[in-house]
Structure 1
Amino acid sequence: MGAATTGERLIADAEVLVRENPELAVATAIAVAVVLGSAYAFLRIRRARGVEFRRLIDEREEIAVLMHPNPDPDSMAAAVGVVELADQLDVDATIQYPGQIRHQENRAFRTVLELNLDRIDHVTDLAAESVVLVDHNEPRGFAGSEGILPLAVIDHHPGDGSGEEFTDVRTDYGSTATIVAEYFEDNDATPVPPDKHASETEGTYTLSTLAATGLLYGILSDTKHLTVGASEADFAAASYLYPGVDQDRLDRIANPAVDAEVLEVKARAIAGRQVEGSFGVADVGAVNNVDAIPQAADELIQLEGVTAVVVIGERDDTIHLSGRSRDDRVHMGKAIEECLSAIDGGNGGGHARMGGGRVEPETTPTDDTTAEAVDRDELTERLFRAMTGDV
């Protein structure tokens, strides 16, 4: 009774205040209208991105969907989503990538979802003039890549690249798959449950079980199962995708057999690590499977007392670096970028929690300089200084 009386008294007082100060009511109404109008405008802008992208590719007869070198589940998932939308618009779309797919998780993703992926080595291998970049914003990893002006860029990594007609880079998102999932939601596409056919669902656009499963796994993979770097949008996208997910396929992707070399590289990283304070660096030497390097970094960051790590490995005269951080003092992407910026052929970057880089061999007609010329001990020391902010 007391609470109700208090509430009634507050309402009565408010009514008196408005009667005695009508200008206050007008100001309040205007403020509410502005807030609601801004929120509505924001939603229209956000929703317009998915609709805008659909309309853009609908104007093409064919597109090449280009993933970054050695694509991971997020990259493959985003590409699958773009192709899914293109297919429903009767646009020919080909998923292409440079490099290799050797990580057991990546190979399982490709096999379980029955993906058709086309490997390329040269710009002339591209399937179409209209190129859509997913999960990276600057073409790289194959001859002639520097000459490509992509039609569109969809990414969640920081960078300077952009598309000729469409650029959607959201660095506050945990995955590119989230952005692509939103495109389907923006176009009112219905996820198709694994026990149904697309013809059994209503709506102009649908999202197949295979694509929904891939997009969800892409989100889970890049956010460590929605525990690291996940945004509200990632959770919302996962909820949207869930009705269309095939849980059996999802489990098969998440639990593939582990390659023996991966276990060996992890062991070398743990046994050979150098630790200064809470930072660690491990040089695992030559590897056949470069995807073992980031997996070793994932393993090393789990060690008690270690808050930031970088693993160094080498394949075909190229030095590869992969770093992980759970230390708010260490922005791993910037640390690796700063470390490699002064090394010829070196480049790197990434997010606060995850970063990577490489040192490419430089050769000239008169000088056969290779990545072996890089002093690995000096590189290790530079990494330690970069993690402490002393580069």
Structure 2
Amino acid sequence: MTISEVQRKLDALIDVVKDADKVLILMHDNPDPDSIASALGLQYILEQLAKKPSLIGYAGIVGRAENRAMLKYLGIKLCSLSRISLPDFPCVAMVDTQPSTGNNSLPASRSPQIVIDHHPYRHASRKVPYREIKPKYNVTASIITEYLIASRLVLDPILATALFYAIKSETEGLGREVGKIEAKLRHYLYPYVDQKLLANIENARVSREYFQIIHSALEHALIYGDAVMANLETVTNPDIIAEVADVLMRLEKIKWSFCFAAYNGDILISARTIDRANDVGTLMRTAFGDLGSAGGHEMMAGAKICAKTKSSVRKKAFIRQLMNRLLRLTGNDSDRAEKLIT
């Protein structure tokens, strides 16, 4: 998009909030750096251009050490949705998520006025007054960064660091799903980044429990042809599921990695692939779209399936069935398992 095109979009965005006294900016559950940075950027735009105060809300937890460090070192203030009275906010803006996706806690009875996201377009978003949905972008923070460039607002180091880290972490240092847009915007943001703060975030300290989970995951991981799978059983931090999937994806000769775990009554699955042509987002929708919410991108995706009524024994058997679905779709034999660590 040209700067003039983005400026027109900014004008439309400001017009949507003109009659609202305040705005709730809602991220997806268990927010990651992309959703946090995008919310922070939108908050800055609304305050500076529309003179509207806003609150950044979320549900779930901020579990990953780097994400908690991001909040700590950048001084980002979030508010749990359980402490927010939705009727007090005439305008709701969703970032890095959309209505009816299953990965956010906006009640079905409440419609947002703004949606800014980089995930595939959802049917429920068509009624949203202002929607900026760009599936060709790899990071929602890229959309927000383009808005900031077009706005000509002063880019302070805190916001620049948040946006830069979001782009970097979402694309693993621009090694995964990187596009020209992200490369260009990273170079734009870099001079404004506080390198000390960035280092504090990227080198966040982790707990002993973190290493115990990684150890157990590797010890019990199984290889099926060109796929590797790990079942973490039950976790207290849902972010660790994606972290394990990322670690397993580094295994040589592997095209797919999948990690499963039960969390808060649901079965969560993180999926990765080495080649965007494999389109793991479509794979997950095909495998689990009939069971719960599923989707993502060409190289990284996830799913959430309700299992609240299942006992521990039934959950274990259910996860086995889910694994078999993925193995069939990836062309691997479920009867030929090999332990990662022997």
Partner of 2:107: 145
Distance 1:80 1:177, change over 3 A: same
Bigger RCO (CA 8 Å, 6+ sep): 2
Other structure's SS at 1:285 match: strand
Partner of 1:158: 120
8 Å CA contact 1:297–1:311 kept in 2: the answer is yes
List per-residue Cα deviations over 1:339-361 (Å, max 9, x = no partner). 21343xx2211001000111113
Query: How far apart are 1:86 and its partner, in Å?
Result: 1.8
List per-residue Cα deviations over 1:43-100 (Å, max 9, x = no partner). 6434422343244335532100000000000000000001111222321100000111
Q: TM-score normalized by structure 1? A: 0.77
Quick one: distance in 2 between partners of 1:370 and 1:52? 50
Residue of 248, 259, 269 corresponding to 1:321: 269
Partner of 2:299: 353
Structure 2 residue 301 is matched with structure 1 residue 301:
no
Residue of 218, 221, 226 corresponding to 2:166: 218
Quick one: distance in 1 between partners of 2:142 and 2:277? 28
Structure 2 residue 140 is matched with structure 1 residue 176:
yes
Quick one: distance in 2 between partners of 1:266 and 1:209? 34
Gapped regions of structure 1 (runs ≥ 5): 1-40, 190-205, 363-367
8 Å CA contact 1:62–1:91 kept in 2: the answer is yes
Distance 1:372 1:52, change over 3 A: farther
Quick one: distance in 2 between partners of 1:144 and 1:52? 23
8 Å CA contact 2:103–2:293 kept in 1: the answer is no
Bigger CA drift: 326-335 or 82-91? 326-335
8 Å CA contact 1:123–1:145 kept in 2: the answer is no
Partner of 1:67: 27
Quick one: distance in 1 between partners of 2:312 and 2:120? 27
Partner of 2:283: 335
Quick one: distance in 1 between partners of 2:195 and 2:87? 34
Query: How far apart are 1:320 and its partner, in Å?
Result: 0.8
**2:181 partner amino acid:** A
Partner of 2:13: 53
Quick one: distance in 1 between partners of 2:105 and 2:45? 29
**1:61 partner amino acid:** D
Partner of 1:32: none
Q: Which has the larger radius of gyration?
A: 1
Residue of 57, 77, 81 corresponding to 1:116: 77
Distance 1:144 1:250, change over 3 A: closer
Quick one: distance in 2 between partners of 1:124 and 1:250? 34
Q: TM-score normalized by structure 2? A: 0.88
**2:295 partner amino acid:** G
Query: How far apart are 1:143 and its partner, in Å?
Result: 6.2
